[in-house]
Structure 1
Amino acid sequence: MVEGGGMKCIKFIIFAFNFIFVLVACGLIGLGIYIQVQLSEFFDFFGNQFAGPGIVLIVIGFVIFIVATFGCCGALKENYCCIMTFAVLLGVIFIIQIAAGISGFVLRESMRDQVVVILKGAEHNYGKDGKGGVTKAWDKLQQKFECCGVENYTEWYSLLTPKLVPTSCCVDPKSTECANRTQTLNETEFYTQSCEEGFVGWLDYEIALVGGVGIGLAFVEVVGIILACCLAMAIRKEYKVL
């Protein structure tokens, strides 16, 4: 089969486009796994309530990887049906990503409020018998995000006896001075940032990132749909000529 210069050009562009998509898919899967691993440390707080963002990224990454591979095969074999199927699948992914991206931005505020409520409830179980998982999760959270208390470190004064902050609030959690002193602590010795600002801020950013990536990729996929349709028409015309 003698190929026209235009079809050769479109085939090359689709190959390049799908190669970039494969890389993007791998990046999305990696980012999704990273978010899941980070949140799994705080399973005692949230369970699977906020597993959504990471899972969405992983699923979208796998789907894009498969569709991109399908597109490459269709272009290589110059198969009209494969190319059109590729275009339709990209269209479906486009709709899903736009919906997921908008939902992520819309639900961010309610998610933030919900996380704060959960953290406040867990705060009352810190150090209690049978709540070792919650205590460890709080210690990990405060050290990891360099924060103390949900909205203010002084919250711990009414929850712990004597009036202390947990050692995980200390810049150096092994410091006996920090661990044994009361609210007369020097603020340079422990974290004063609230966990709403630290952890919830991080989670809020990750959800915004998922939404932004989804919407951004969706518009790139429009280019892929147009290119696939152009190649499909070129293939069809060439077969008609033959």
Structure 2
Amino acid sequence: MIFVVQLGVGITSYILSSDVENFLEDNMFKSMRNYNTSRAGVYRTWNVVQHEHACCGTKNYEDWKSTYYGESVNGVPDACCKEFTTDCGRNVFQDDTKLEQINQGGCFDKLKGDIKDNITVLGGVAIGIGCVQVLGPRPLSRNVFRFICASLSLSASILPLLFFSSSPLVLLFFFLVLADRTVTL
């Protein structure tokens, strides 16, 4: 049963990797509408993404114009600023001289390549583990099997680091889960 699930995850990740871009972009736009301090997960995720990737909004900084936050400050979050200063993103839409202080490019382009690469890796790992489970270690040479086991152990020791980093896969998780559960129309 586990093999079937792993094989399904592997095949699905390869087949749907082309749909990831649209899915990611849509959910990034949705989550922007929920950017405020009362939605801590969305708020923090956007701040981390924009600060660490030196970007602003989904496609570009102007995406913030159509959000409640953008309308309320007539600008962008401070995480969009090249150098963080309190209220540095305020009134950006009104004062063109402030544009040089913010990152104007969008975050979507910076994240989509990393996400697609990681989904392909996920699919390959799932299929590989499934095959090892079905075939067992006998058809494999002893050294190859040891290498696979050592690789999986190394991956397992790295997994906790992924969950506490700003890796694209973790950020995708936040965009997908938080956007779908908190969007109010």
Q: TM-score, normalised by structure 2?
A: 0.55
Paired amino acid for 1:209: V
The residue that corresponds to 2:110 in the other structure is: 198
Q: 1:140 aligns with which of 17, 26, 48?
A: 48
1:11-40 CA deviation, whole Å, 9 max, x = no partner?
Answer: xxxxxxxxxxxxxxxxxxxxxxxxxxxxxx
Structure 2: which amino acid aligns with 1:147? C
Residue 224, structure 1, aligned to residue 134, structure 2: no
Identity within the alignment, %: 25
Aligned counterparts, 1:1-242, within 5 A: 93=3, 97-127=6-36, 130-159=38-67, 160-161=70-71, 162-174=73-85, 178-180=88-90, 182-183=92-93, 184=96, 185-187=98-100, 189-216=101-128, 224-227=137-140
- Which amino acid in the other structure matches residue 224 of structure 1? P
Is the CA contact 2:75–2:92 (under 8 Å) kept in the aligned structure 1? Answer: yes
Structure 1 residues 139-198: Cα deviation after superposition (integer angstroms, max 9, x where no partner):
12222333211122211134313531211111222366x4345242344x3333322222
Instruction: List gaps (5 residues or longer) in structure 1.
Output: 1-91, 229-242
Letter aligned with residue 212 of structure 1? G
Q: How many residues align?
A: 134
2:151 matched residue in structure 1:
none
What is the RMSD of the two structures over their aligned residues, measured on CA atoms? 3.4
Relative distance call for 1:180 and 1:96 in structure 2 (3 A) is closer
Task: Label 1:201 to 1:194 Cα distance change in 2 as closer, same or farther (>3 A).
Answer: farther
Q: TM-score, normalised by structure 1?
A: 0.44
Q: Secondary structure at the match of 1:211?
A: helix
Q: For residues 204 and 109 of structure 1, do their structure 2 counterparts lie closer, same or farther at Cα, with a shift above 3 Å needed?
A: same
Unpaired segments ≥5 residues, structure 2: 142-185
**RCO (CA 8 Å, sep 6+): is it higher in 1 or 2?**
2
As a proportion of its length, which structure holds more helix? 1
Mark the structure with the bigger radius of gyration: 1
Q: Tell me if structure 2 keeps the 8 A contact 1:146–1:198.
A: no
- Structure 1 residues 165 and 216, CA, compared in 2 at 3 Å: closer, same or farther? same
Report if aligned partners of 2:17, 2:116 keep a CA contact under 8 Å in 1. yes
